[in-house]
Amino acid sequence: MGETPPFLADPGTTRESIMRATYLALCEHGYAGLTIQRIGESFEKSKSLLYHHYDDKDELLLAFLQFMLEEHEASVPETADGDAVDRLDAVLDAMLAPSLAAEHEEFTAAMVELRAQAAHDERYREQFAEHDRAFRDRLVDVIEDGIDAGTFREVDPASVAEFLSTTVAGAMTRRVTGGDDVAATAARDELDDYVDRVLLAED
């Protein structure tokens, strides 16, 4: 607990310091135990600054969610160049890594907890829907390029992208809620076969 991912290691602005404190409090206490008091305990500056920037816990947590989703989107590798298979492999390799560094595992746990809030909070659901759409659209681009180049069969890009996004979301969830990394490793292996046998055009 308490290790911060690189994007939070050295906050440059008050907003980033608040995001860092929120992240540390979430990792330590879980979402259900997250209070302004506890966020303040992880905050290096005057607690009054918390209230200066955010009216209440609700507003702070929604800003934190947006911040986390932006960081998560930034973690998807850029793959504008190259063969569609290599580009798809790069995304799947990054999202389904065999193991995670401690700070990345804590980040994943925090994301899984935030996502679960969407089950009962429309505002979280809207943000995750947008985030899911952005990830899916990046996969759609790769798949469409692969079809255009004759690398992939004439599959339905939206359906394939939704499916891959769903498997990635399941692996993220199971990795931190079921105890090990087998979920991601098995998904990566089987998606290799899926790409080979379902997506790849027969030469």
- Both tokens of 42, joined, read 């992880």
Q: How many CB atoms lie within 10 A of CB 173?
A: 17
- Kindly tell me which of 58 and 78 has the beta carbon lying closer to a second copy: 58
DSSP, res 35: -
- Both tokens of 1, joined, read 């607990």
Under the criterion CB under 8 A, does residue 115 sit at the interface with a second copy?
Answer: yes
Residue 117 has, within 13 A of its CA and on its CB side, a CA count of 20
Which span sits near a second copy by CB under 8 A: 47-55, 66-74, 84-92, 156-164? 156-164
- Kindly tell me which of 134 and 149 has the beta carbon lying closer to a second copy: 134
- Residue 121's alpha-carbon distances to 39, 40, 62, 125, 143, in angstroms, are 21, 24, 11, 6, 33
Q: Which of 48, 119, 202, 203 binds a second copy (CB under 8 A)?
A: 119
**Separation between Cα atoms, residue 201 and residue 124, nearest integer Å:** 39
- Kindly tell me which of 87 and 174 has the beta carbon lying closer to a second copy: 174
Min CB(121)–a second copy separation in Å: 7
Number of H helices, E strands in the chain: 10, 0
Under the criterion CB under 8 A, does residue 166 sit at the interface with a second copy?
Answer: yes
Residue owning tokens 């190259």: 82
Min CB(14)–a second copy separation in Å: 26
For the purposes of burial, counting CB atoms within 10 Å of the CB of 120, is it exposed (0-12), middle (13-18) or buried (19 or more)? exposed
Binding pattern for the stretch 167-186 against a second copy, x by CB under 8 A and - elsewhere: xxxxx-xx-xxxxx-xxxxx
Under the criterion CB under 8 A, does residue 97 sit at the interface with a second copy?
Answer: no
Binding pattern for the stretch 1-30 against a second copy, x by CB under 8 A and - elsewhere: ----------------------------xx
The three-state secondary structure class of 152 is strand
Under the criterion CB under 8 A, does residue 57 sit at the interface with a second copy?
Answer: no
Q: Which of 2, 123, 159, 201 binds a second copy (CB under 8 A)?
A: 159
**Separation between Cα atoms, residue 110 and residue 27, nearest integer Å:** 6
Residue owning tokens 């005057």: 46
Residue numbers of the site for a second copy (CB under 8 A)? 29-32, 109-110, 112-113, 115-121, 124-126, 128-129, 132, 156, 158-160, 162-163, 165-171, 173-174, 176-180, 182-187, 189-191, 193-194, 197-198
